[in-house]
């Protein structure tokens, strides 16, 4: 089946305290989003759909020219919410059968290994979602109190989350999208089991200034992400 990725770059950057949404901030002199697109291109994913907030579409086209960014990709306008952005991305896929990964535009360090595992897992099971073990102790909040829970019984999940096109079209084909945290949370509401595979810790999501600092350090080190991947 053909492989697609919908890269969601619709954030407004509020948490960075910055006027520029974080997907456009420079990482080693190139916008974050270009790094992310390149990661999928280098992993052999040929159908790259990038969902950009509508007010930034012209800006994005301009900076693609400025940076001579030539990786082929289709630009789609985003919605007010992430779910609408994914749905808009799905609508430009003409095939009837395909595998579709949905990825955060601000996770530029996703490895080819993780991308391939997402597609392979979805090919076999219909869904493929990368997880990481929790590193700190975990407490569950109940009202004003909290109690210790076993962190081994929980996993954090990242992107790319990969699904068959049929599954995504089914769950997104509703007139009014419910609110949900990620695609896995939506998909499971339809009784479809989520298959997890182990992700990698360097696939960080750039959300805060400290993340941006770490990302900058990582990209400047010119090491491949996988060279740190001794422990997964």
Q: Which residues of this chain interact with its own copies, rule CB under 8 A?
A: 15-17, 131-132, 134-142, 145-158, 180-182, 184-185, 188, 193-194, 196, 201-202, 205, 207-210, 213-214, 217-218, 221, 228-231
Residue 225 CB, shortest distance to its own copies, in Å, is 9
In the bound state with its own copies, the residue whose beta carbon lies nearer, of 64 and 225, is 225
Q: What is the DSSP code string of 16-62? A: GT-SS-GGGSEETTEEHHHHHHHHHHHTT--EEEEEE-GGGHHHHHH
Distance CA 43, CA 28 (A): 21
Neighbours of 210 (CB within 10 A): 9
Least distance to its own copies from the beta carbon of 185, Å?
A: 4
Adjacency order of strands within the sheet including 3-8? 74-77, 47-52, 3-8, 99-104, 161-164, 127-133, 196-198
Angle at 126 between CA 124 and CA 130, to 5 degrees: 85
97 vs 222 by CB, closer to its own copies: 222
Q: How far is the CB of 143 from its own copies (least distance, A)?
A: 11
Nearer to its own copies, 19 or 230 (CB): 230
Which residue's CB is nearer to its own copies, number 16 or number 93?
16
Whole-number CA gyration radius for the chain: 18
Tell me the two tokens of residue 35.
Answer: 């790094």
Our CB check for its own copies shows the closer of 94 and 142 to be 142
Tell me whether residue 71 or residue 185 sits nearer to its own copies (CB atom): 185
In whole angstroms, how close is the CB of 205 to its own copies at the nearest point? 7
> In whole angstroms, how close is the CB of 70 to its own copies at the nearest point?
31
Question: What distance in Å separates the CA atoms of residue 72 and residue 18, rounded to the nearest whole number?
Answer: 28
**Could you tell me the smallest distance in angstroms from the CB atom of residue 201 to its own copies?**
5
């Amino acid at each position: 089946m053909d492989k697609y990725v919908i890269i969601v770059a619709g954030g407004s950057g509020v948490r960075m305290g910055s006027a520029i949404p974080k997907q456009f901030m420079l990482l080693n002199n190139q916008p974050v989003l270009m790094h992310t697109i390149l990661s999928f291109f280098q992993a052999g994913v040929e159908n790259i759909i990038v969902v950009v907030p509508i007010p930034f579409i012209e800006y994005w086209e301009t900076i693609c020219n400025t940076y001579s960014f030539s990786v082929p990709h289709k630009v789609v306008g985003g919605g007010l919410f992430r779910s609408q952005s994914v749905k808009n991305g799905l609508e430009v896929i003409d095939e009837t059968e395909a595998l579709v990964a949905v990825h955060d535009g601000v996770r530029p360090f996703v490895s080819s290994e993780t991308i391939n595992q997402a597609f392979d897992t979805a090919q076999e099971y219909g869904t493929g979602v990368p997880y990481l073990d929790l590193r700190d102790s975990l407490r569950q909040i109940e009202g004003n109190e909290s109690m210790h829970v076993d962190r081994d019984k929980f996993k954090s999940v990242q992107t790319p989350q990969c699904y068959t096109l049929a599954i995504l079209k089914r769950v997104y084909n509703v007139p009014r999208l419910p609110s949900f945290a990620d695609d896995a949370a939506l998909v499971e509401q339809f009784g479809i089991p989520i298959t997890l595979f182990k992700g990698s810790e360097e696939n960080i999501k750039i959300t805060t200034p400290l993340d941006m600092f770490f990302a900058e350090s990582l990209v400047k080190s010119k090491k491949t992400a996988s060279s740190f991947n001794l422990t997964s």
